[in-house]
Amino acid sequence: MRDLTAAGTRPLVQVRDLKVHFPIHTGVFRRHTGDVKAVDGVSFDIMAGETLGLVGESGCGKSTVGRALIRLYDPTAGSVVIDGTDIATLDAESLRRIRPTMQMVFQDPQASLNPRLKLAEIIGEPLLEHTAMDADARLKRVHELMDAVGLNRRFANRFSHEFSGGQRQRIGIARALALNPRFIVCDEPIAALDVSIQAQVVNLLEDLQAQFGLTYLFISHDLSMVRHIADRVAVMYLGRIAELSPRDALYANPLHPYARALLSAVPEADPAREATRRRIILKGDVPSPANPPKGCTFCTRCPQVIDICHSQRPVLTEVEPGRHVACHLFNSPTAGSTGSAEVTEPNQQGVSK
Amino acid sequence: MPDGAVPVLDVRGLKTIFRTRSGEVHAVNNVSFHLQPGELLGVVGESGSGKSVTMMSLLGLLPSPPADVRGGEVWLGGRDILKIGVDGLRDVRGAKVGFVFQDPMTSLNPVFTVGNQIMEPLIRHKGMTKAQARIRAAELLELVGIPDAAARLKSYPHQFSGGMRQRVMIAIALACDPDVLIADEPTTALDVTIQAQILELVRDLRTKLGMAIIWITHDLGVIAGIADRVMVMYAGQVVEQAPVAQLFARPQHPYTRALLKTIPKLGGQREARLQVIEGQPPLMTAEPGACAFRARCTHALDRCATENPQRRSLDGAPVGHGHDVACHWESPDA
């Protein structure tokens, strides 16, 4: 995958066949009776300095991928190589030592900040945990971070409840930056914010990326915002990647039927376009990840479903340079192994639209 | 827009305050609007702009204290419903005005079947017997696109998905053929593909039933696709009101203009950098004697600090009927 998606750039994060299953225990004896397959075989790379957008609807597993990538969840199977180290199987102490390179910005800035700590303590906590800085050095670093995210230094002794949603998200970002990470998972960082505040936070994330050379996994259900911030976009459906494409190609011409339906469902703030757009209205709801359909997980709602979709699971295959689609309309079922484009030949059939 | 017709709902000078420990919060300030038969009025604004509180004030749905609907008139069916008392309002809610809330899980009762909850307003307001109500309830479920409707009447809310629950909420709201349907962020809690289903349903129901709808949302995309007319609220006041095409093509209020520029586009030229609205929405603890948006406004004038702008017409039509804006600044493309 690496040579074809961004020639010459080195992948910082390499995910191979990642699975995260949550056990279901039922009955009086809490027997293990099944698994919620939240993430079921996901592979992708994130290049150094790149922003990979990860989109999909609630329950598709996008947040679980984000959390598994920095080992907030233990993967059931697969590997997550960050900067040369496979963190999926790392022991606790080695993991602790590598944590500073990977950080996370959470969705709900209220719930992810300790209400009993002052701002300087919240932002300084990673420094206390991972560095040998003394109190003066820590405060100096906290002030630097506050400058970087646009928080007034005078606020250092205030509590998080004294801030608005947008400012709280800045606190969360400052904390994530404290240890000079290389990779940040942004899990719906703007979903809880008002429209007029969202742009402030997204611009800040972009500025910081340019300033510190950060690599982002940007998880969101806001497809317009992902188009703005991401270089490449992965569309997830029910624990699997349906399509992984460069941003412009995806938005101009989504290939996977789910990606097409998803993009056509997003309302646009333009009445003239809204009146003339053709919408693909999907029937029904997303099936339960505890009991996904056989074959392609999208086969129960797909408007272009064919026989093979009910029996065989489609494999994520490169169908155009840089564009990977898991759909039988595009790949022959024998082509390649999951997500590794090096071993699959580009297959152009069905790329008519 | 049938402007000559008598409006089904006419709200004039509505004022609602909340009493809090840090003083009175002026949540709704002198809000006036009307709703024509068959029309869909979109109400947009950010959290705290007063859009939900306005609609809840109309129907006496706010707990008092702390809320106090302090002034204004709400004309519905020839009566000012702010003056008809608690029992009078009970005959209005659900019968004349249907309400669909944001979160269908918390607004449906988990211990009663869906059928029971659709039948309740029919029995209460229409005087139907249980048997009649059950037949009508099944019709309603079918109308909102729930397959196998008669059997699903026996299901409980938790047995439905989010989108299906919102369909049930719409069925309840429509049960008594209300004159007005108020939908408060009805698709915000739903995924986009499910939202598309619900929007499709509402478009379909409008052509079938022709009721007037007030649609509250913060999503300008939803508004663009569904509304006839739009009212933009900021800090408890209406700052701009116009037919939908007009509002998006030629927004006049600096807030509306900035808001439209701040959302990234799904198609066309991708913006290199997002435009921002600097600052935060104001605390509404004082009676506004100045423009609430002036601190964030790029066109603020001296006058804006001393005089709260009143809505003025831009096209000669009476305020509320054409394009109007509450702003001292006169934009060059007005």
Q: What is the pLDDT at residue B102?
A: 81
Q: What is the pLDDT at residue A351?
A: 37
C-beta atoms of A285 and B280 within 8 A: no
**pLDDT tens digit string along B290-311?**
899 998 899 999 999 899 999 9
**pLDDT over 80 (residue A348):** no
Q: Name the residue ranges covered by the structural domains of chain A.
A: 253-353
Residue among B192, B200, B260 minimizing CB distance to A266: B192
What is the chain A residue with the closest CA to B162?
A: A285
For residues A328-334, average pLDDT: 69
C-beta atoms of B265 and A285 within 8 A: no
Question: What is the interface pTM, i.e. ipTM, of the complex?
Answer: 0.83
What is the chain A residue with the closest CA to B200?
A: A281
Q: What is the pLDDT at residue B334?
A: 66
pTM, two decimal places:
0.86
pLDDT band per the 50, 70, 90 thresholds, residue B4:
low
Residue among A228, A264, A265 minimizing CB distance to B270: A228
A199 to chain B, any CB pair closer than 8 A? The answer is yes
Q: What is the pLDDT at residue A22?
A: 92
Q: Which letter does DSSP use for residue A292 in this model?
A: P
**pLDDT tens digit string along A149-208?**
988 888 899 998 888 888 899 999 999 999 999 999 999 999 888 888 889 899 999 999
Half-sphere exposure of B45 (CA within 13 A, CB side): 27
pLDDT band per the 50, 70, 90 thresholds, residue B88:
confident
A24, A94, A97, A101: which is closest to A69 by C-alpha?
A101
Beta strands A240-246 and B324-325 are: unpaired
- Please give the mean pLDDT across all residues of chain B: 89
**pLDDT over 70 (residue B74):** yes
State what percent of residues in chain B have pLDDT above 90: 41
Q: What is the pLDDT at residue A332?
A: 56
β-sheet with A240-246: strand ranges across: A102-105, A183-187, A215-220, A51-55, A232-237, A240-246, A323-325, A317-320
Which residue has better confidence, A205 or B85? Answer: A205
Contact A55, A234 (CB under 8 A): yes
- The tokens for B298 are 């790029």
Whole-angstrom CA distances from B59 to A116, B32, B83, B324 are: 40, 15, 11, 26
**pLDDT tens digit string along B272-293?**
888 888 887 887 777 778 899 9
Q: How many Cβ contacts (< 8 angstroms) between chains A and B? A: 121
**pLDDT over 70 (residue A336):** no
C-beta atoms of A199 and B196 within 8 A: no
The angle at the Cα of A148, spanning A147 to A153, to the nearest 5 degrees, equals: 20
C-beta atoms of B221 and A268 within 8 A: yes
A307 to chain B, any CB pair closer than 8 A? The answer is no
**pLDDT tens digit string along A261-275?**
999 999 988 888 888
Contact A102, A70 (CB under 8 A): yes
Q: How far is B162 from chain A (nearest CA, A)?
A: 9
Q: What is the pLDDT at residue A334?
A: 45
